[in-house]
Structure formats: C-alpha cells, structure tokens
Amino acid sequence: MTTAPVQGVRRETKREDSILASRAPTEWSPADSASLYGLDEWGQGYFAVGADGNLLVQPDKDGGRRIDLHKVIQGLDERGITTPIIVRFKDMVAHRLREIRAAFDAAMADNAYTGGYSCIYPIKVNQQRHVCEEIRDIGGPLGFGLEAGSKPELLAVLGLTENMPDMPIVCNGFKDDEYVEMAILAHKLGRTITPVVERYRELELLIKHAKAYGVRPRIGMRCKPSARGAGRWESSGGMRSKFGLQVSGMIDAMELLRQNGMLDCLKMLHFHVGSQICDIRQFKNAVSELANMYTEMARLGAGMDTIDIGGGLGVDYDGSQSAWASSVNYTLREYAADVVYRIKAACESAGVAHPRIFSESGRAMVAYSSVLVVDVLGRNRYSSDPDMPKVRSLIAAEPDGAPQPILDLIDAYEGAAKRDPVELHHDAAQAYDEALSLFTLGYLSLPMRAAAERLFWATGRQVLARAQGQAGGDDLHEDLQVLPEFLSDIYFCNFSVFQSLPDSWAIDQIFPICPIHRLNEKPTRRATIADMSCDSDGKVDRFACVDHRDFKPVIEVHDLLEGQTYYLGFFLVGAYQEVLGDLHNLFGDTHVVHVSLDDEGGWEIDEIVEGDTVREVLSYVEFDHEDLERSVRRDTERAVKKGTMSVGDARSLMRFYEGGLEGYTYLE
C-alpha cells in the first residue's frame, strides 16, 4: 500500500536552497545558474553559461572558443535531426589527451624519470569507430596506444592501426587459440603488440604459436594484486579477482618461459584495480605493490621494460572532489605524480631501470567529450490548490457524506496557515494513510480517494513552503525532508535510460544534468526525470550534489513554456554509456553529431551519424520488415472486405506503417 511520507532519509539540497533563496527571479544571472548546477565543479572548465542563458561548450577550456549547445541543437532541428542527440566534441578529446600527456610529462620531469609514458585507450570504453579513429589520430603523435579486451576488439584495433608500427597495442581479456595466433601474426605484421597473459593456458598457446611462426613476441603478464579498489569495481582487483595470475602462478609461468628460452620475451607487468577509483590511497598502495613485483620479475631474469597500471583514473561526476562513488578526491596531476614517484622509488631502490609506464585510462580520456541532449515532452505536477469546489462537489455526491479522514484532510488544509508545519504534516499524513487503508479495505470510494490525494498534495505544498520559509535555508525538520521529492514534478523526457544512460540504472552512477538554455532565468520547479520506456526503472532520481557526498532526489528546472521546447543536457556520458546501452522497449541508438571548432573561432558540424530506424531495431530482434508489412497489408484487405475500413483508410494506414518503419525510434 502507498503510504504518506512522514519520516524521510536525510537528503539535503542545502547549497541549492541557499542559492535559490538568495536571488529574486529578477536578479537571477547566468552565474547563479552555473553555481546552482555545479558547472564549474564537475565541468572542469569545459562548460560555461553565456549572457543569453545558453550553455556553452569550451572544448579546449579557452573562453574565447565556445560552442553554443542550444544553437547546435536548433541548427540540427532545422536539418530534421531531432533530439535525443549525442553531441560529441572532438576538440575536447584532443584537449583531454593532451592534459593527460602534460600531467605525466610534468611528473616525469619533476622526478627525473627516464622510462617514458603512454596512455592506452581500451576501446571497450567506447568502440564507436569515430571515437577510436579520433583517439588514434590525436593519440598517435602523443605516443599513445590502443587496448583490445577481446578477439573482436583486436580485429578492430588491427584495422585501425594500419601502417602504424610504433603505436603500442595491448591485448587483454580471455584468449583462445585464435586470439593468441592473431596477436602473434600481428607481431609479424610489424605491430608493437603485447598480448597479456591472464591464465597459464594462454602462455602455453603463446609459446606454441610463437614457435610455429618463429616470432619472439613481447609478452605481458597480468597479476592479481592483493591491493584492491573500493566501491563498485572492487572485485576487479584483489586476490580473488576474475583476471590475472596469482603470484605463485606467475612464478610457474616464468619457469615455463625459462624452459622454452623465452624469459627475455616477458616485457610487461599489468594489473587493473578497478574502474573509477575514488580514493587516491587505493592507487598509491596498488602501484607500490605492482612496482615491487616488477622489480622482482626483472631480478628473476625477465626482459622487463614496461609497467601497465591499468585503468581506474576517475572522473568527478558530481563535482564534490571527494572519495564518494561518483567523484574522485584527487586530480590528474596528483595521480600522475604518485604513479611516477612510486614506480621510480621502487625501481631505484632495487637498482632496476625506469620502465615505460602505460595507463589504460579509458574513462578519463572520453567521458567529458559527449553530451546527451533530450527534449522534455511534458510533466506531472502535484498542485498546491486542491480545487475546493471540486472536492465539495465530490463529497456532495457521496451517499453517506465525507468519511472522517477526508474531513481531517480538509481541516488540515484549511487551517494550514495557522498551524506549525511539522504538526500539520503529521496530521495530514495520518489522515491520508487512513484514507488509503479504508480504500484498500473497500470502505472508501474512488472519488473520495481522489479528494484525499488533492487535499494531501496541496497541504504538503503549504507545509513545505512554510517550513522552508521558517528554516531560512537551514535544514528542514527530519520528517519533512522527504517532501521536496514527494511533491516534485516529473519531467518526461524523450530518451531511454536503458539505451543512453545505462549506468544510471544499473549501478546508480550519477551524471551531471543541466538545462542547455534559459540559464539566465531562475528555475522555479524541482523535478525527477522519467524516460520514454514503459519500465518504472526508466527514471533518474539521483542528482549530483556538489557540496556534500550524497545525491539529491530532485533537480531544479524551469517551468515549461507553451510552444517552446525545453532541453536538458546529460553530461560526461562519453565513457561506457553508448556501448553498454540496450534496446529495452526497442529504443535504438540515438543520433550522434560530431561538432568541432573551426579556424575562424566558430564551430561546424563535421558529421551526423543517424540513429537507428524502427526497421533496424526490429531486424536486431529478427523481425523481417517485409513480413511485417505483408501481414498488416493482409489485415487491411480483410478489414476492407468486412467494411470496417475504406480503401483510402487502408492506404493511409499502410503509408503510415511504412513511414513508421523508416522513422526514428524516439518521439519526433
């Protein structure tokens, strides 16, 4: 049974409340919006608000080179490309890669480190061809490389690196005979490729194929470190992790290589403690452990020259700069400095040359560069006016008059102005619960339940308005803290959480969300977000809180205006979301648009990759569109014959059906 909220979890929106309370609508400025939505914190300088209230993208953090996201969306709309759209900024990928390069260069210079560094892009983070090609083209000159985590990914990587003998390629993941043979052949082709041994069996295959093809491969070994990350990806590391060799297995593997005269081929030690490592201390411990393993392997005669610290470099999705799951308590500079220093310290104390460092920092490379823009299709609102004439007319139609809980709710609503808000809420919640119990037991009519709802929502709004006024920006009473969420609007948006924001659904990942226009207006509503899927999980009700380690259950939004589309942006969605998304309810891939800065200080649309059509998604689940058309056509003939449909109607239906098959899977 639904019950009224009396006690809530403590979920604050303190900073937002104080920003909203400090400005009248007429005083609201774009800077207030930037502060309210935490743009400067999670945006890392890539986003700003223009004087006209539009959201600006600064792909290279240069305030003089900006892309107006709202204008991009409007321009696309004029070209018939409608939201939802993923907008990808190539210049942002380039900037991010250069930032990573610069952070490691600075750390190496500070530590007189001579081993060198390469960032290796694991293509599983976003395998879209355009993204991989951009990273290859931008990363190549920076000395960066690519990682494949499976056989299909290796085939893609080999095709991507044509005539690029120096680009480092790392092969992770479980390997069968074919995968290993392909890696050996790639070595023969001239690629700088390092297959990483995750299981003893893979080493046997490597030795077999290396001998058969007369190749001395570069071999990597993945270890199971005792150090492990924390949070969601904790199980990626540690002794019981799915991947890698135990230390005892590593010793056996080295012995096998020695027996086959190939110990000098063992060049690289690899591990991965988990993705989105929030606390720098987890890296510090893990890197030290790895570095000491590396020096031991060198001492035992392996031909070591590279240490691969895996992925995990996190992204501050909520802007709180904390060790909370959607954030990180360190900067890129601190990460690079720690990694370089710890490897150098271990190697120097063991008298081993500085190795080349690889990091597989996929998320950190691409998360920022994509924004998902969606349109709001409508909203649900819980009114502060119960419409008393309507309530009284419903009561008048009841044969036995109003039941007691309804009278209590009327009493609460009408006396609201004079009552203490907390007491008022207790009374209203009690009466509403009683009304719901009576309904469930069959003693309350549907019209009376409707009256109870109207009165309860309206009283709740009064409670909240008065309590917020009294608290003056301070905490709400604990019992009232659930009301902002309970009474918030629901904004229905044209997208699928399962297709475009899967981590929001699957692992409660928080993504920053912000309107992309009207940011010079004070937002007057608070809302949760619902998608188009017919699944109650298809919603977003956890939003970034910049000032503390928690999420908030509602986001500040503008009221919808008649005749004007309202757009929301979901930011930092470039890593994992596009490729993990699924076809729930047959909502397919969205349109993807590549936008870049031009030479005249403006921007241009480089490419539009149209999203799936209905016909395409149906074919993914084995429907043949011609079969479907034929069966609907046969039914129209039957209907014409029966006289329930005219020939003209049948033609219209078929035209509509065929058009629908070729259309976008989202609402157009």
Ligand X SMILES: Cc1ncc(COP(=O)(O)O)c(C=O)c1O
Residue 13 contacts ligand X per CB under 6 A: no
The structure tokens listed for 255 are: 């012995």
Residue 220 within binding range of ligand X, rule CB under 6 A: no
Q: Which is nearer to ligand X, 56 or 364 (CB)?
A: 364
Binding mask 67-106 for ligand X (x = CB under 6 A): ----------------------------------------
- Which one of residues 8, 310, 538, 588 is an interface residue with ligand X (CB under 6 A)? 310
The position carrying tokens 């991009």 is 72
Amino acid at 253: A
d(CA 125, CA 250): 28
Question: Position of tokens 């007369």?
Answer: 214
Residue 161 touches ligand X, criterion: CB under 6 A:
no
Q: Least Å distance between CB 271 and ligand X?
A: 8
455 interacts with ligand X by CB under 6 A: no
Q: In what order do the strands lie in the sheet with 47-49?
A: 47-49, 55-57, 67-68
Tell me the closest approach of the beta carbon of residue 337 to ligand X, in angstroms: 18
CB of 316 to ligand X, least distance (A): 13
Least gap, CB of 155 to ligand X (angstroms): 18
Q: List helix spans (H) across 472-613.
A: 483-486, 497-500, 502-506, 577-580
SS (H, E, C) 565-596: CCEEEECCCCCCHHHHCCCHHHCCCCEEEEEE
Neighbours of 455 (CB within 10 A): 27
CB 270, min distance to ligand X, A: 8
**C-beta closer to ligand X: residue 172 or 370:** 172
Using only the alpha carbons of the chain, give its radius of gyration: 30
Q: Does 311 bind ligand X (CB under 6 A)?
A: yes
| Cβ distance to ligand X smaller for residue 122 or 523 | 122
Tokens (6 digits) for 248: 């005892």
Q: Which residue has the tokens 């390629």?
A: 169
- Restricted to residues 112-141, the positions that interact with ligand X (CB under 6 A) are 122, 125
**Contact at 8 Å (CB) between 154 and 183?**
yes
Q: Which residue has the tokens 């936008």?
A: 595
Nearer to ligand X, 125 or 337 (CB): 125
Nearer of residues 218 and 363 to ligand X, judged by Cβ: 363
Shortest distance (Å) from residue 276 CB to ligand X: 6
Our finding on whether 275 is near ligand X (CB under 6 A) is yes
Q: Considering CB under 6 A, how many residues would be counted as binding ligand X?
A: 15
Q: Could you give the string, one character per residue 560-599, with x where binding to ligand X holds by CB under 6 A and - elsewhere?
A: ---------------x------------------------
- Give the CB-nearest residue to ligand X: 311
> With binding defined as CB under 6 A, does residue 272 bind ligand X?
yes
Nearest to 394 by CA among 455, 328, 473, 346: 455
Q: How many CB atoms lie within 10 A of CB 402?
A: 19
- The window from 30-38, 69-77, 99-107, 307-315 that contacts ligand X (CB under 6 A) reads 307-315
Inter-CA distances, 281 with 286, 318, 362, Å:
9, 20, 20
Taking CB under 6 A as the criterion, the residue among 95, 363, 461, 552 binding ligand X is 363
**List 13, 276, 494, 500, residue binding ligand X (CB under 6 A):** 276
Nearer to ligand X, 274 or 460 (CB): 274
Of 362, 484, 523, 574, which one interacts with ligand X (CB under 6 A)? 362
Whether residue 84 has a cis bond before it, omega within 30° of 0: yes
Identify which of residues 180 and 409 has a Cβ nearer to ligand X in the complex. Answer: 180
- Nearer residue to ligand X within complex by CB, 313 or 347: 313
Considering only 172, 241, 369, 370, the residue that binds ligand X (CB under 6 A) is 172
Q: Which of 274, 207, 203 is nearest to 238 (CA)?
A: 274
Q: Which of positions 322-361 make contact with ligand X (CB under 6 A)?
A: 360-361
**Nearer Cβ to ligand X (436/572):** 572
Binding segment for ligand X among 42-50, 260-268, 278-286, 309-317 (CB under 6 A)? Answer: 309-317
Amino acid identity at 119 = C
In the bound complex, what is the minimum distance in angstroms from residue 645's beta carbon to ligand X? 55
- Residue 146 φ then ψ, to 5°: -130, 150
Nearer to ligand X, 44 or 361 (CB): 361
119, 135, 266, 313: which one binds ligand X (CB under 6 A): 313
Please report, for residues 15, 271, 339, 488, 664, the alpha-carbon distance to residue 388 in angstroms, rounded to integers and kept in the order given. 36, 66, 67, 22, 44
CB of 149 to ligand X, least distance (A): 6
Closest listed residue to residue 87, CA positions, set 538, 543, 571, 597: 571
Instruction: Quote the longest CA-to-CA distance of the chain.
Output: 96
The torsion angles phi and psi of 384, rounded to 5 degrees, stand at -90, -5
| Kind of pairing between the strands at 539-540 and 525-530 | antiparallel
- The answer to whether 320 and 279 are in contact (CB under 8 A) is no
What span, in angstroms and rounded, lies between the C-alpha atoms of 139 and 131?
A: 11
Least distance from ligand X to the Cβ atom of residue 89, Å: 19
Give the residues lining the site for ligand X (CB under 6 A): 122, 125, 172, 272, 275-276, 310-313, 360-363, 575
